[in-house]
Amino acid sequence: MRKYFLAPLQVRQLATQPKLAVKPNHQWKSVVGLEVHAQISSTSKLFSGSGTTFGAPLNSAVSFFDASIPGTLPVLNRKCVESGIKTALALGCQVNEVSMFDRKHYFYADLPNGYQITQQRAALANNGKISFPVITPGTKVYYKSVKLLQLQLEQDSGKSLHDDELKRSLVDLNRAGLPLMELVFAPDLETGEEAASLVKELMLILRRLHTCSCKMEEGALRVDANISIHKTGEPLGVRTEVKNIGSVRSISQAISYEINRQIKQVAAGGIITNETRSWDADGRRTVAMRDKEVLQDYRFMPEPNLPPLHVNLKPGSQSTEDLISVAALSEEIPELPEHTRQRLVEHYKLNSETAIILVNEPILLEHFLNITKSLMDVPTKVVTNFLINDLLTYCNKINVDVEDCALSSTDLKDVLKSLHSEEINLQAARQLIELLHNNPKTDINTLIEQHNLQQISDLNTIESYCQQAINNQPTAAQQYRKGKTKALFALAGEVAKLSAQKANMKIVVQCLEKLLKD
């Protein structure tokens, strides 16, 4: 997921899976809409006082209400409402003064009530918007804006484990009643990459707000995609819904696959039926889900046990015991990712691509801000290059999340300081990343000493290396003298090899030029 932004890696991925790449097809237009379920970070559930710890012992975080024992009633969690409102505000929504709860009926064993409490007639907020950079390997970054139709609060269901052999389901109700916000986006997207970029941006926003952990692997953020195709100028086609998308990378793969599947199906004379499909991450395909062909009848009805939820929309108002002030919450909204990007571009004079990469990897941004604060004289370009080209590449190479990398901002600052003062060269700096990752909390001067990484800047030593290189590569020297300036690279490379990558290349180039001119 984090390697998403490294174009070369992504391209390599696609090369081994050619069927996933969308061929440019100008005849067909694809329409993609997303529904995102984000679990609100809270200590207790939406309507009951049981805990929300992920991976708690089976059926332990279950209250009588969650188990649907007759006579129990829902009491709304204040924090969940506040988190929902904060998220709505950050996404430019209009928060509704009065919102209501409804029952949506399903008959599943992991939903003991037989219904889910959600918001259908009057949601918490409507009419928002999310703007985000779209990063597609091989194309220029562009911005896309998608309308957020609705943000509603609702309960999660329990979890079922299906035991095919004994023909039974095992039900754990720990998840039943966890608070979710469902975000319904307008079908304004066209490709899988756009969808993945939207979710990536949404995750950055939710993490800044601390309203959702966004851990897709724990199911804290779930994405359903509605996909259809049509010819330009014709009405929209029949859509299918793809569920069970478990990672940001899967979003783009699943949607690209589904668009291609539909195009192929129609091209072969088939028709698309309105169905729910599931993403099979191992097989990299979408498969039809059984027993879903029947149009669901949810029999929505107002939730009789919960009066409407009122919020205070007056500017300058304060929250009271049972009335939350939207104005007071809007004061708590932190700087949002897009604002940070603009600040990086304006204040630190970074180009927008660099700003996007830094903001999309919160830990890199933290390193960048810490380093530039203490190393004022190092150009920001050197810092960002080092973080993105060297640190990020190293982490990807050893397949470690940048967040889990053992290097602290201070370590990186020390390395950059030595690099900038020409005590070490870039090769040594790269080696230091690896050494520091494997020996955390070691003083970098000790490491430089121990591994003999100091850069060789002594003129006499370099001159002898250069002379040796010229002797070793007489053809290159001759070519250079004849005017083929590129031949100097071969000689410089030879010096690097001779000096075990430790020579100061700036001086080497000057020295070589001088020697060859004589």
Partner 1 sequence: MLRFFPNLRFYCKSATKTEVHLVKQRVELNFKELQHPTKVPQVPVPTAFPDTTERDLEIDTKTIQLLERLSLVDLDSAEALATLKSSIQFADKIANINTDNVRPLYTVLESQQLQLRNDEVTEGDCRAEVLRNAKITDEDYYVSPPGNIPLEQTESQFDKN
Q: Which residues bind partner 1 (CB under 8 A)?
A: 42-44, 48-51, 57-67, 69, 73-81, 100, 105, 107-109, 160-164, 167-173, 291, 294, 297, 299, 302, 304-310, 321-324
Map residue 286 onto helix, strand or coil: strand
Give the 3-state secondary structure of residue 472.
helix
The torsion angles phi and psi of 59, rounded to 5 degrees, stand at: 50, 25
Shortest CB 73 distance to partner 1, Å: 5
Instruction: Give min distance, CB of 317 to partner 1, in A.
Output: 14
Cβ proximity to partner 1, 170 vs 236, nearer residue = 170
Pick the closer one to partner 1 by CB: 161 or 406: 161
Q: How far is the CB of 67 from partner 1 (least distance, A)?
A: 4
The tokens for 98 are 């009065």
Nearer of residues 82 and 338 to partner 1, judged by Cβ = 82
The CA-atom distances, in angstroms, between 476 and each of 465, 489, 492 are 15, 9, 10
Q: Which is nearer to partner 1, 72 or 457 (CB)?
A: 72
b/e map 472-510, b = 16+ CB within 10 Å: ebeebbebbeeeeeebbeebbebbbebbebbbbbebbbe
CB closer to partner 1 out of 317 and 393:
317
3-state secondary structure 83-113: HHHHHHHHCCCEECCEECCEEEECCCCCCCC
Shorter beta-carbon distance to partner 1: residue 97 or 423: 97
| E strand or H helix at 185 | strand 179-185
CB of 220 to partner 1, least distance (A): 17
Q: Which residues of 33-69 are buried (b: 16+ CB within 10 A; e: fewer)?
A: bbbbbbbbbbebbbbbebbbeeeeeeeebbbebbbee
Bridge partner list, 236 = none
Nearest CA-CA partner of 229 in 200, 270, 197: 270
DSSP one-letter code for 440: T
Minimum CB separation of residue 178 from partner 1 in Å reads: 12
Are 255 and 191 spatial neighbours (Cβ–Cβ below 8 Å)?
Answer: yes
Name which of 60 and 446 has its Cβ closer to partner 1: 60
Who contacts 491 (Cβ-Cβ below 8 Å, separation ≥6)? 466, 469, 470, 473, 476, 477, 480, 512
How far apart are CB 118 and partner 1 at their closest, in Å? 15
Q: How far is the CB of 246 from partner 1 (least distance, A)?
A: 21
Least distance in Å: CB of 222 to partner 1?
A: 19
Which residue's CB is nearer to partner 1, number 322 or number 404? 322
Backbone dihedral angles phi then psi of residue 302, each to the nearest 5 degrees: -60, 140
Q: How far is the CB of 42 from partner 1 (least distance, A)?
A: 5
**For residues 62 and 487, which CB has a smaller minimum distance to partner 1 in the complex?**
62
- Sign of torsion, CA 311 317 318 321? negative
Q: 103: buried, middle or exposed (CB in 10 Å: 19+, 13-18, 0-12)? A: buried
Q: Which residue, 120 or 228, has its beta carbon nearer to partner 1?
A: 120
CB of 58 to partner 1, least distance (A): 4
Structure tokens at 311: 């919020």
